[in-house]
Amino acid sequence: MTKATAETAGSGELGRRVRAARNGAGLTLEQVSSKIGVSPATLSLIERDKVSITVDRLTDIAAALDLELDELVSPHRSDTRHDDTLPKVLEAAIECFTRWGYHGTSMRQIAQAANVSVAGVYHYYESKQQMLVAILDSTMTGLIDGVEGVRAKVADRPPEERFAAIVEALAYYHATSRGTAFIGASEMRSLEEPNRTRIAQLRRSVQHVIDEEAAAAVESGAFSVPDLKIACRVVANMCTSLAQWYSPSGPVGPEEAAADVAEYAVAIMKIGPRRAD
């Protein structure tokens, strides 16, 4: 490995390239993590550039993805090594799961929706369960990246503004990624272990961000809601429910809808203590 390649391996974009390559290979976090000897949670941290990665670990990842090391670390590497059947298959699965539910969908229906053969579906995914895991992994990665990205940008602002910005980001995601967000809300029960527990932990990590920023605003005196825990969960549900009822063809755009939800969330947090009867 050259010096330039080693320097690239330490860059903040490497995790994103690993994730793009994994998605391009049609592999789940669990599949790749088992090949390289780490937990899915650790690989998720690597893909989000939250932990450093050694050259040896990077070599293992490249091998698991059937890539040369330089292909993975090069910022100019194309992420279109595979044909366009894979995204069609996943998009078809999302469409079918949203329409008929996970248990009501067959592999043949997914193949028909993707306009490929059933064998073509199995070329990339061994089962519907593997598809569901891939969809929810992608959903949580996008959601966590969005929320954490906004949190970093507003880190120097007052707690109330940080809270509002994070809620707005969460609401916007659910308004603009309605298919995957809807599946994330409705099909967690269909996940098998250990993925159900793992993805549930990722969902809780987003809730914890809301909780932490709301608690900071209470401490600063900006929020006065009597039951912070309940209020934070109400706010999270306001955001996630957008995937069920919001329509981009309506009179309100996703940006405006997300901003409105953030305003409502702040208003909830400013409700005063309960009055004694």
DSSP characters over 215-259: HHHHHHTS---S-HHHHHHHHHHHHHTHHHH--TTSSS-HHHHHH
Residue 55 lies inside a defined structural domain of this protein: yes
| Residue 275, domain member (yes or no) | no
- Cβ within 8 Å of residue 14, ≥6 positions away: 8, 49, 53, 58, 73
Reported as a single tens digit per residue, the pLDDT across 173-200 is 999 999 999 999 899 999 999 999 999 9
CA–CA distance from 11 to each of 3, 52, 73, 93, 103 (Å)? 13, 9, 9, 34, 42
Q: Are residues 67 and 101 in the same domain?
A: no
The rounded distance, in Å, linking the Cα atoms of 230 and 221 is 18
Task: Identify whether 64 is part of a domain.
Answer: yes
Which residue in the block uniquely carries the two structure tokens 């992608």? 138
Please tell me the least confidently modeled range out of 19-23, 143-147, 152-156: 19-23
What span, in angstroms and rounded, lies between the C-alpha atoms of 50 and 60? Answer: 18
30 and 91 inside one domain: no
Query: Do 16 and 104 fall within a single domain?
Result: no
Q: Give the pLDDT score at 113.
A: 95
Q: Are residues 152 and 260 in the same domain?
A: yes
Output the domain CATH number for residue 67.
1.10.260.40
249 and 139 in a single domain? The answer is: yes
Measured from the Cβ of residue 139, the count of other Cβ atoms closer than 10 Å reads 23
Question: At residue 109, does pLDDT exceed 60?
Answer: yes
Q: Please determine, for residue 277, whether its predicted confidence score (pLDDT) is greater than 70.
A: no
Question: How far is residue 243's CA from residue 273's CA, in Å, rounded to a whole number?
Answer: 32
Identify whether 58 is part of a domain: yes
Say whether pLDDT at 262 is over 50: yes
CA distance 175 to 179: 10
CA distance 184 to 187: 6
- Has residue 157 got a pLDDT over 80? yes
Running DSSP on this structure, what letter comes out for residue 136? H
> Bigger pLDDT: 44 or 81?
44
Spell out the residues 6+ positions from residue 145 whose beta carbon is closer than 8 angstroms to its own.
48
Which pair of tokens denotes residue 138? 């992608």
Residues 120 and 193 in one domain: no
Domain count within the chain: 3
Residue 122's domain comprises 85-126
Q: pLDDT band for position 52 (50/70/90)?
A: confident
pLDDT exceeds 60 at position 83: no
Residue 276 lies in a domain: no
Q: What is the CATH number of the domain that holds 116?
A: 1.10.10.60
For 131, counting Cβ atoms within 10 Å of its Cβ (0-12 exposed, 13-18 middle, 19+ buried), the class is buried
Q: In the predicted model, is pLDDT for residue 233 greater than 90? A: yes
Structure token digits, residue 176: 């603009």
For the residues 201-207, what does the mean pLDDT come to?
93
Provide the pLDDT for residue 6: 39
Does the structure show a pLDDT above 50 at 12? Answer: yes
Top-confidence residue, 83 or 30: 30
Q: Above 90 in pLDDT, residue 266? A: yes
Is 67 found in the same domain as 168? no
Whether 80 is in a domain gets the answer no
pLDDT-above-70 percentage for the chain: 88
**Phi/psi at 115 (nearest 5 deg)?**
60, 40
Residues 134 and 69 in one domain: no
Q: pLDDT tens-digit profile of 215-232?
A: 999 999 999 999 999 999
Tally Cβ neighbours within 10 Å of residue 73.
26
CATH assignment of the domain containing 214: 1.10.357.10
Please tell me the least confidently modeled range out of 7-21, 25-39, 75-89, 211-225. 75-89
Q: Are 98 and 179 in contact (CB under 8 A)?
A: yes
